[in-house]
Amino acid sequence: MEKPVLKLEKAEIYQRDNLVLSNVNLTINKGDFFYLIGKTGSGKSSLMKTLYGDLTLQKGTGSIVDFNLKNLKEKDIPFLRRKIGIVFQDFKLLNDRTVFENLNFVLKATGWKDKEEMKTKIYEVLGKVGMKTQYYKKPFELSGGEQQRIAIARALLNDPELILADEPTGNLDPKTSMEVMELLNDIHKSGKTILMATHDYQLIVKFKQKTIKCEGGALFEVAQQQQKAQV
């Protein structure tokens, strides 16, 4: 049996000195898609930050794409982030560089050297998100939905084993949110594993997936029929 992409056991999630989630048990296998829901302040972001190495896992055990979160060193974080793709709510694109340069910057930072290979990879991921013809534009020349597509392309650059999407539609209007969600759904169908924090109930209803919820300091799975009442 394949090793889980992500496994937390009896994990405690802290935001600075505050315990926000306790006794967290979570297993995500290759090809899974999970929504992570919960009110603001319920621990969603802290859990995400722990998974990509911004916050330390202080108690319990955790592994993500073969990295041990408990003894993750500062120097390991760039290597961890090569194996996961992160999509943020606020895109985090560099406004003084073109789309192509934004993606090139990430490839350089993650150890790519061959210029032709880099170019091929950039056009490949831009093609996947329908943005190939916009490679020469600066982020501020693009709409919010287009910027998020670029951010998703960036997350795909290193062919990640897991995509962590933290409120990826949080800054987008409903129509654009649906388009971005359809894109993430296609990426999932191509075999990618996704954990997506969201509070957008429309998306959860339209694109049904497993759902886990942060509430009252705990994390638990929500049955499909309960979701309507839960969000």
pLDDT for the residue numbered 109: 86
pLDDT at 226: 55
Q: What pLDDT is stored for residue 110 in this prediction? A: 83
How much is the pLDDT for 41? Answer: 86
| Percent of the chain whose pLDDT exceeds 70 | 96
Global confidence as pTM: 0.91
Domains defined for the chain, CATH in brackets: 6-93+162-230 (3.40.50.300)
pLDDT for 177-210, tens place per residue?
999 999 999 999 999 999 999 988 888 989 899 9
State the virtual CA torsion across 160, 162, 166, 168 in degrees, nearest 10: 60
pLDDT bracket for residue 138 (50, 70, 90): very high
